[in-house]
Structure 1
Amino acid sequence: MSASSYLKKHTEALVKDVGIEAACELTGKSKATLGRYYSDSDEHDDRFMPIDVVAQLEAAARFPHVTSALAELKGITLSYDAERRNASSKGVNQDVVVLAQRFAMLMSEYHMAISDGRISVNEAKRMLRETLAIQQILLDMKLNLEVEVS
C-alpha cells in the first residue's frame, strides 16, 4: 500500500470515527469535500485533508487516526494516552510542581520494585505508567514554554 492510500484510509477512519454529519458541522466542510479527502479515485489522488481540519476532527475523535498514520510512515512510535485530565496545565510553574510530584512517585515505585533485587512485570508496568505521565507533563511544559517565548 502506498503512503498516499495509507493516509487516505486513515482519513476515512477519522471521519467515520467522528461521524460524517458531526465532521461536517465541526469543520464547516461539506460531505462531498470530506469524501474527496479520502477518495481513492484517480481524480482525487492529490487531494488530502488540511492539517487544521485533521486537528479539529482528531480533537473530537476517539483516536488520532491521521496523526498515528503519519507517525507510522516516518517510523515513529506514539504513546496515546486516552486519559483526559480534569485540570489542564496552568503554566510552567504548575508543570514543575506536578513534574516533581510524578518523579517522586516514579522513584517510590522504583524503590519498592528494586527492594527484592528484581523488577517484576507488574512493577515494571507501574513504573512505565509513571514514566508516561512524566512524558505528558514534559510535553505540557514544552507547550507552555513555547507560549511564553512567542
Structure 2
Amino acid sequence: MSGMSSYLKKHTEALVKDVGIEAACKLTGKSKATLGRYYSDADEHSDRFMPIDAVAALEDASRYPHVTSALAELRGITLSYSEDRRNNPSHGVNSDVVALSQRFAMLMAEYNQSIEDGVISINEAKRLLRETLEIQKVLLDMKLHLEAESP
C-alpha cells in the first residue's frame, strides 16, 4: 500500500473513532464491517476508500475534519479550522464587505509597521499571517453568503 493510501486510511479510522462506530454506522448507512474495510491496511482492502458523501456526513458530526485535513496536507494546503465559527450568526454580504475592508486595513497597517526597518521578523510574520487568515475567513463567509443569495 502506498504511503498516501496508508495516510488516508489512518485519518479515515480517526474520523470513524471520533464519531463513534455505532454513530458512524447510522450516519453513513454502512455496517461496522464495511467501515472497517475503509480503514483496514490489509492487502485485500488496499483499494477501498470511504465514499465522499460518507466522509462529509461523518465530518459534520466529528470534532475535527480528519479526512479533509489529510487531503489538504497531501496537497500542501494549509487549512484554518475554528470550531467556534460554526454557530456565528449570518450577517450577509454587506457586513462581509465592511469586515473585509477593515481586515485589509489592519493587514496593511501591520505590514507597514513590519517593513519599517526593512526586515520582517518572525513575530511580525506571525502577526501578518494571523491577519491574512482572518481575511481568508471573511472571504469564506462572503462566498457562502453570495452562494446562499444566488439561485
> TM range, normalised to the smaller chain?
0.7 to 0.9
User: Which residue of structure 1 lines up, in the alignment, with residue 11 of structure 2?
Assistant: 10
Deviation at 1:83, TM superposition (A): 4.8
Give the whole-Å Cα distance in 1 for the aligned partners of 2:73 and 2:99.
31
Q: How many residues align?
A: 149
Whether the 8 Å contact between 1:95 and 1:140 is mirrored in structure 2 is: yes
Q: Does 1:58 align with 2:59?
A: yes
Q: Does 1:79 align with 2:79?
A: yes
Deviation at 1:25, TM superposition (A): 4.3
Whether the 8 Å contact between 1:113 and 1:119 is mirrored in structure 2 is: yes
2:146 partner SS: helix
Give the whole-Å Cα distance in 2 for the aligned partners of 1:103 and 1:88.
22
State which drifts further: 38-47 or 49-58: 38-47
Whichever residue aligns with residue 103 of structure 1, its letter is: F
Q: Does 1:47 align with 2:58?
A: no
TM-score by length of 2: 0.78
2:84 partner SS: coil
CA RMSD of aligned residues (A): 2.5
CA 80–60 in structure 1, closer or farther in 2 if over 3 Å, else same: farther
Give the whole-Å Cα distance in 2 for the aligned partners of 1:6 and 1:117.
42
1:84 partner SS: helix
Pairing 1:18-29 to 2, within 5 Å after superposition:
18-29=19-30
Give the whole-Å Cα distance in 1 for the aligned partners of 2:123 and 2:6.
40
Q: Gaps spanning 5+ residues in structure 1: where?
A: none
Deviation at 1:99, TM superposition (A): 0.9
CA 50–118 in structure 1, closer or farther in 2 if over 3 Å, else same: same
CA 76–61 in structure 1, closer or farther in 2 if over 3 Å, else same: same
Post-superposition CA distance 1:70-127 (Å, at most 9, x none): 2344x23122323523524432222112111211221222233234443322121111
Pairing 1:1-150 to 2, within 5 Å after superposition:
1-2=1-2, 3-73=4-74, 75-85=75-85, 87-150=88-151
Deviation at 1:28, TM superposition (A): 4.3
Deviation at 1:141, TM superposition (A): 1.7
Whichever residue aligns with residue 84 of structure 1, its letter is: D
Whether the 8 Å contact between 1:89 and 1:95 is mirrored in structure 2 is: no
Give the whole-Å Cα distance in 2 for the aligned partners of 1:116 and 1:26.
55
Give the whole-Å Cα distance in 2 for the aligned partners of 1:137 and 1:9.
32
Deviation at 1:12, TM superposition (A): 0.8
TM-score by length of 1: 0.78
